């Protein structure tokens, strides 16, 4: 959540400059304001027009442009910002920052800075490993700057090793993290939020289980945003493809019954979000030993019993114990709106986010989602958008709901 935050984004020249475009989009979608500065060589890779149009603020590059700027323009740009981000940062620009050179708008802004600086280097692997670059990076750290990356991998020049610009998501996470730890007006500060995520696993015997294709990406994205908004996050997770977010309290569970127990253990909280894909049933009995193949090749039959409905049980808690907001998810493969509205009524939750997970949508395991958001009165369509954007939209909605009811 970056609402009202001003970020001075310095883009320096390099093939990775195009990734700055994605970073701008992410900051904007999270409600942040971006003032771009391009060095002369950055303008060879991305046009000031594109960058300015996406940022919604004219991209600046000239130090002495009296038609556009007053003499102290570069100082104002820095004073106006809450945070400075240099992405990508070339070896040359890193050297300039380390040595206090000020021969263009970008380097002058850095020298005149009174704000935290996040630097995301990007260069050829040999240039990155070169002693002067390593020396310069060390100096930047000593000067209080924060270095993000670089990543290791194949480079545009064909060589392999460290030097690739970190992914925009990683740089964005560092920005969110900075505001999270340096802010006292976070919208969910003091709120305790429980979120379930991932897939449950229902054991059949010691080596087999029934599960589903949930990747845990949507729950993780929401948990990250909750944390960035200042909430104390209880993250109750089943199996997932992605690691849990930093800075949250993690409870790892296996079966639906384990998840039920963990959720009721973690309560009370202000908001509970049920994003996990929970198995509705489990095998009636769990073999103590691996179920053996029968001699004649006959398949065993499985008897199933119902699992407790965690969401429903929390939504039905008496006032005082029930979270102020209980939010469910509904994975549907057909008639999304009709089925989700019926589920909303059945579950007793306050909000329900329905998504179409039919085979061709790529929602399970993918990075994007299309949501239909239900409350008591209406429904509205969100997306398609990234799972991270769904997180931002949901967390903003939670924040305004809690603000109104406070």
To the query of whether residue 269 is one of the catalytic residues in this protein, the response is no
- Quickly list DSSP for 359-379: GGG-TTTSSEEEEEEE-SS-E
**Residue 25 vs 397, nearer CB to ligand C5P:** 397
CB of 336 to ligand C5P, least distance (A): 12
Determine which residue in the list 61, 307, 355, 363 makes contact with ligand C5P, applying CB under 6 A.
307
**Binding of ligand C5P at residue 310 (CB under 6 A)?**
yes
**DSSP H or E stretch at residue 326:** strand 325-332
**β partners of residue 161:** 153
Determine which residue in the list 27, 91, 276, 398 makes contact with ligand C5P, applying CB under 6 A.
276
**Residue 124 vs 237, nearer CB to ligand C5P:** 237
**Residue 288 vs 359, nearer CB to ligand C5P:** 359
Stretch that binds ligand C5P, among 223-231, 295-303, 304-312, 387-395 (CB under 6 A): 304-312
**Binding of ligand C5P at residue 148 (CB under 6 A)?**
no
Per DSSP, which regions of 149-292 are E strands? 151-154, 160-164, 192-197, 202-205, 208-210, 232-237, 249-252, 271-274, 281-283
**Binding of ligand C5P at residue 198 (CB under 6 A)?**
no
Determine which residue in the list 329, 351, 364, 374 makes contact with ligand C5P, applying CB under 6 A.
329
**Binding of ligand C5P at residue 193 (CB under 6 A)?**
no
Residue 172: Cβ within 10 Å count: 25
Stretch that binds ligand C5P, among 122-130, 175-183, 288-296, 322-330 (CB under 6 A): 322-330
Max CA-CA distance within the chain? 90
Residue 74: Cβ within 10 Å count: 25
Residue with tokens 């990234």: 386
Relative orientation angle of helices 19-29 and 48-55, to the nearest 10 degrees: 10
CB of 205 to ligand C5P, least distance (A): 22
**Binding of ligand C5P at residue 311 (CB under 6 A)?**
yes
**Binding of ligand C5P at residue 171 (CB under 6 A)?**
no
Residue 109 CA to its chain's centroid (Å): 29
Cβ-contact 256, 308 below 8 angstroms: yes
**Residue 16 vs 194, nearer CB to ligand C5P:** 194
**Binding of ligand C5P at residue 338 (CB under 6 A)?**
no
CB of 282 to ligand C5P, least distance (A): 10
Determine which residue in the list 80, 159, 246, 280 makes contact with ligand C5P, applying CB under 6 A.
280
**Binding of ligand C5P at residue 256 (CB under 6 A)?**
yes
Rg of the chain over Cα atoms, rounded to whole angstroms, equals: 25
CB of 79 to ligand C5P, least distance (A): 46
Q: Which of 71, 4, 8 is nearest to 34 (CA)?
A: 8
**Residue 202 vs 232, nearer CB to ligand C5P:** 202
Determine which residue in the list 118, 330, 357, 399 makes contact with ligand C5P, applying CB under 6 A.
330
Cβ-contact 317, 293 below 8 angstroms: no
Q: Which of 56, 134, 65, 73 is nearest to 98 (CA)?
A: 134
CB of 188 to ligand C5P, least distance (A): 20
How far apart CA 383 and CA 28 sit, in angstroms, is 16
Residue 208: Cβ within 10 Å count: 14
**Binding of ligand C5P at residue 354 (CB under 6 A)?**
no
- Quickly list DSSP for 390-405: HHHHHHHHHHHHHHHH
Which of 157, 269, 275, 349 is the catalytic position?
157
How far apart CA 44 and CA 99 sit, in angstroms, is 25
How far apart CA 399 and CA 191 sit, in angstroms, is 10
Determine which residue in the list 230, 328, 351, 373 makes contact with ligand C5P, applying CB under 6 A.
328
**Residue 157 vs 342, nearer CB to ligand C5P:** 342
**Binding of ligand C5P at residue 345 (CB under 6 A)?**
no
CB of 223 to ligand C5P, least distance (A): 14
**Binding of ligand C5P at residue 274 (CB under 6 A)?**
yes
How far apart CA 302 and CA 204 sit, in angstroms, is 9
Task: Report the catalytic residues.
Answer: 157
Where do contacts with ligand C5P occur on this chain (CB under 6 A)?
196, 256, 274, 276, 278, 280, 307, 309-311, 328-330
């Amino acid at each position: 959540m970056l609402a009202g935050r001003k970020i001075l984004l310095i883009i320096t020249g390099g093939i990775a400059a195009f990734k700055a475009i994605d970073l701008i989009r992410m900051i904007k979608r999270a409600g942040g304001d971006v003032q771009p500065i391009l060095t002369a060589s950055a303008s060879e890779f991305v046009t000031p027009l594109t960058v300015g149009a996406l940022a919604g603020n004219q991209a600046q590059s000239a130090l002495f442009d009296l038609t556009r700027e007053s003499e102290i323009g570069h100082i104002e740009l820095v004073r106006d910002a809450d945070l400075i981000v240099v992405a990508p940062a070339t070896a040359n620009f890193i050297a300039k920052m380390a040595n206090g050179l000020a021969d263009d708008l970008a380097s002058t802004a850095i020298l005149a800075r009174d704000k935290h600086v996040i630097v995301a280097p990007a260069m050829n692997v040999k240039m990155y490993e070169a002693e002067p670059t390593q020396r310069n990076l060390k100096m930047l750290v000593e000067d209080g700057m924060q270095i993000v990356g670089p990543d290791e991998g194949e480079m545009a020049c064909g060589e392999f090793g460290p030097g690739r610009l970190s992914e925009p998501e990683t740089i964005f996470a560092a920005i969110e993290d900075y505001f999270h730890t340096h802010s006292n007006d976070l919208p969910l500060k003091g709120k305790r939020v429980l979120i379930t995520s991932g897939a449950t696993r229902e054991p059949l015997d010691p080596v087999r289980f029934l599960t589903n294709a949930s990747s845990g990406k949507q729950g993780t994205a929401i948990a990250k945003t909750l944390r960035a908004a200042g909430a104390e996050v209880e993250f109750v997770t089943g199996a997932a493809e992605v690691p849990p977010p930093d800075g949250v309290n993690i409870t790892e569970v296996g079966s639906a019954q384990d998840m039920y127990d963990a959720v009721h253990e973690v309560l009370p909280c202000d908001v509970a979000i049920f994003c996990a894909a929970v198995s509705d049933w489990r095998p009636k009995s769990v073999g103590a030993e691996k179920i053996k193949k029968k001699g004649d090749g006959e398949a065993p039959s499985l008897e199933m019993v119902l699992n407790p409905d965690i969401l429903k049980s929390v939504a039905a808690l008496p006032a005082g114990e029930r979270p102020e907001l209980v939010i469910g998810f509904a994975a549907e493969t057909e008639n999304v709106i009709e089925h989700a509205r019926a589920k909303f009524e059945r579950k007793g939750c306050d909000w329900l986010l329905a998504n179409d997970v039919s085979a061709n949508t790529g929602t399970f395991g993918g990075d994007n989602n299309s949501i239909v958001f239900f409350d008591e009165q209406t429904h509205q369509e969100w997306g398609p958008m990234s799972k991270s954007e769904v997180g931002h939209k949901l967390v903003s909605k939670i924040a305004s709901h809690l603000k109104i009811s406070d």
